[in-house]
Amino acid sequence: MTNSNGFIQNERIAALVMKHLQDNLTVPETEELERWKNESAANSELFATLTHPDTIRQEVQRLDAANNAIRQKLAAAGIHITDAPATVKPPARLRTITRWVAAACLVLAAGTAALLWRKQPAPAKPEAKAVAPLSVPPGKNGAVLTLADGSTLVLDSMGNGEITTQTGAKLILKDSALAYTPAGGAANGAIGYNTMTTPNGRQFQVTLPDGSKVWLNAASSLRYPTAFTGKERLVEVTGEAWFEVAPKANMPFRINVNNQATIEVLGTSFNVNAYENEGMVRATLINGAIAVSNQQQRAVLKPGQQASVAPTAGSRMRVELADVDKVAAWRYGLFNFQDASLQEVMKQLERWYDIRVVYDKKIPDIKFGGELSRNMTLEGLLRTLEASEVHFRMEDARTLVISQ
């Protein structure tokens, strides 16, 4: 006989897995799913299997095959189906991932509970176990705002509404995003400057006084005026940021990047990666046009191009085609590890999970591929990377040791 309580529990976990794939879990549901995953190694392994891109791809292929068979039978009967056009914002590969998730949810919903039931370990006597340091949660929305007078506000500890007034603007916090709205009082050029900083494990969005939107990745900062006046809109950025700049023909938008490069925006969406430990400033154009300059060169980019600037004096700028999906992944809640080295991957994990990575010996020469959700716990993500022969251990709650 089947234990009905166990099956009900498995159906519940299946539903949570589906909501996780759709990035639609509430905070209590996330905690419930984490508790289940941490009950046993088998649960953690099963979750990694169910949410792995290869599993989703296989289910989509099965769904496509069934769909094509149905279409052929309908066509034989004189009935033809035309797909409705879809307007989707993310780049091509991200659209594919979205399609995988949507289709996989239809297929997995019917089978996940049964799979959970088949793979669920037999009940065992409770035993004491140490708290797993690998259960490091993913990053979340949050930032520290430094006002013109030097005082600071921790935005992730504040509720929605007007949080303060700066010269020329009211600051409105809503749903983990900050917006500046005109408030007057900016006469005689008396404009203050604010700095938004995202620590490790945090990301945040701000709408600037001109309506431009900026998303900051972890370990980044943006310095900007509380109102734009004069002949240009000038901001300063470190780390990584995604910009969607409001066009204003008589007031160009310029970005000082680590004092190593200047980006002039001609109305566009683009990404800037300027982490100091990456060794390069990279500006990638998604659409529109930008001009990137250093002391030696100036280059106007076309959509899909990336300009790379080294910090070394006298270095020439390099312009080449970019992997736009890889650049844009973080903006859409994904890690993209396509052709990434182990060191590149670990730098991203250090920033997003607020950990320190050390290597037992030399850094293993490993290349990765594919995409993973940034909503995974550190444990879930590392279990997935184990398939690439990455061996790891936690020395303490925040130190990850990589060994061969």
Question: Beta strand 356-359 with 399-403: parallel, antiparallel or unpaired?
Answer: parallel
Total domains present in the chain = 3
Q: Does 133 fall in a domain?
A: no
Model confidence pLDDT, tens digit, residues 197-250: 999 999 999 999 999 999 999 999 999 999 998 899 999 999 999 999 998 878
Contacts of 298 (CB under 8 A, 6+ apart): 291, 292
pLDDT band at 320 (very low <50, low <70, confident <90, very high): very high
How confident is the model at residue 303, as a pLDDT? 93
322 and 236, same structural domain? yes
CA angle centred on 204, ends 202 and 209, rounded to 5° = 155
Residues 94 and 185 in one domain: no
Q: Which runs of E-coded beta strand occur in 348-387?
A: 356-359, 371-373
Name which of 25-29, 107-111, 330-334 the model is least confident about. 107-111
| Tokens describing residue 131 | 């708290």
Identify the band that residue 272 occupies on the pLDDT scale cut at 50, 70 and 90. Answer: very high
The closest of 279, 242, 244 to 258, measured between CA atoms, is: 279
pLDDT of the residue at 305: 96
In this predicted model, which residue has the larger pLDDT, 311 or 165? 165
Domain boundary among 119, 153, 174: 119
- Which residues have CB under 8 Å from 14's CB, separation 6+? 108, 109, 112, 113, 116
Domain-terminating residue out of 54, 85, 119? 119
DSSP letter for each residue of 205-219: EEE-TTS-EEEE-SS
Residues 221, 291: one domain?
yes
pTM of the model: 0.68
CATH of the domain at 264: 2.60.120.1440
Residue range of the domain that includes 177: 140-328
Residues 303 and 185 in one domain: yes
Residue 156 has pLDDT above 80, yes or no: yes
| pLDDT at residue 120 greater than cutoff 50 | no
pLDDT band at 69 (very low <50, low <70, confident <90, very high): low
Same-domain check for residues 207 and 102: no
Residues 35 and 33: their CA atoms lie apart, in Å, by 5
Instruction: Give percent above pLDDT 70 in the chain.
Output: 74
Rounded Cα distance between 132 and 340, Å, is 28
pLDDT tier at 27 (50, 70, 90 boundaries)?
A: confident
Are residue 307 and residue 164 in the same domain, yes or no?
Answer: yes
Q: How many CB atoms sit inside 10 A of residue 52's CB?
A: 16
Tokens of 31: 């905690």
Together in a domain, 309 and 342: no
- Predicted confidence (pLDDT) at residue 332 exceeds the cutoff of 80: yes
- Among the candidates 302, 328, 354, a domain finishes at 328
Residue with tokens 């030399």: 362
Most confident among 216-225, 274-283, 288-297 (mean pLDDT):
216-225
Say if 72 falls within a structural domain.
yes
Mean pLDDT along residues 52-66 = 60
pLDDT band (50, 70, 90) for residue 55: low
My answer on whether 338 and 295 are in the same domain is: no
Token code pair at residue 82: 């035309």
